[in-house]
Amino acid sequence: MYLMNKIKETITSLKEQYFADNRPWVVTYSGGKDSTAVLQLVIQMLEELNKEKKDTKHIYIVSSDTSIEMPIIEKYLNNKLDEIDKFAQKSNLKLSCHKIEPKTTESFWSLLLGLGYPAPTNSFRWCTERLKINPATEFLKDLVNEHQSILMLLGVRTDESIARANSIEARVLNHRGLSVHSTIPNTYVLSPIKTWSTEEVWTYLSETPFPWGDHSYMMSLYDKGSSEGDCNIALNPDSPSCGKTRFGCWTCTVVEVDRSMEGMLKNGEEWMEPLWEYREMLYNYRNSLEKRDTRRRNGAPGAGPFLTSTRHELLIALLETEVKVNKNYHQMKQKALDYNKNEKIILIKDEEIEQIQDNWNKDGDISNKAYRISQDFNRLKEKSVSTELRKELEEFNGENFNIDLFERIYEIEAYRKNISNRYGIIGDIEKKVIDFYKGEFRETN
pLDDT tens across 102-158, in order?
999 999 999 999 999 999 999 899 999 999 999 999 999 999 999 999 999 999 998
pLDDT of residue 429: 65
Average pLDDT over residues 154-180: 71
Sheet holding 150-153: strands in order across? 95-100, 59-64, 25-28, 150-153, 187-190, 179-180
Q: Is the pLDDT of residue 226 over 70?
A: no
CB 292 within 8 A of CB 322: no
pLDDT at 9 over 90: yes
297 versus 45: which is more confidently predicted?
A: 45
Selected residue with higher pLDDT from 416 and 332: 332
Tell the CATH superfamily of the 2-248 domain: HUPs (3.40.50.620)
pLDDT for the residue 238: 42
Burial call 130-152: b when 16+ CB within 10 Å, e when fewer: bbbbbbbbebbbebbeeeeebbb
Q: Does residue 317 sit in helix, strand or coil?
A: helix
pLDDT value for 235:
42
Lowest mean pLDDT among 157-166, 328-337, 435-444: 435-444
Q: What is the pLDDT of residue 176?
A: 85
Task: Return d(Cα 41, Cα 367) in angstroms, integer.
Answer: 56
pLDDT at 182: 86
Contact 106, 131 (CB under 8 A): yes
pLDDT bin (cut points 50, 70, 90) of residue 247 is: confident
Note the pLDDT of residue 311: 97
Rounded Cα distance, 156 and 190, in Å: 9
Phi and psi torsions of 26, nearest 5°? -125, 115
Residue 230's pLDDT band, with cuts at 50, 70 and 90, is very low
Amino acid at 209: P
In angstroms and rounded to an integer, the radius of gyration of the C-alpha atoms of the chain is 25
- Which tens digits make up the pLDDT trace of 361-406? 988 888 899 999 999 999 999 988 777 777 766 766 666 667 776 7
Q: Does residue 83 have a pLDDT over 80?
A: yes
- Phi then psi for 37, rounded to 5 degrees? -60, -45
Q: Contacts by 399-408 with C-beta closer than 8 Å and gap 24+? A: 402/436, 404/436, 404/441, 405/432, 405/433, 405/436, 405/441, 407/364, 407/365, 407/366, 407/367, 408/432, 408/436, 408/441, 408/445
User: Does the structure show a pLDDT above 70 at 305?
Assistant: yes
Q: Phi/psi at 64 (nearest 5 deg)? A: -95, 130
CA nearest neighbour of 235 among 128, 75, 385: 128
* pLDDT for the residue 300: 78
- Compute the average pLDDT of residues 40-66: 93
137 vs 235: CA distance, rounded Å: 7
CA distance 444 to 265: 33
From 242, 249, 247, 269, select the one nearest 260 (Cα to Cα): 247
Question: What span, in angstroms and rounded, lies between the C-alpha atoms of 260 and 32?
Answer: 14
Q: Model pTM?
A: 0.83
> What pLDDT score does 168 carry?
56
Q: What is the mean pLDDT of the chain?
A: 85
Rounded average pLDDT over 311-323: 98
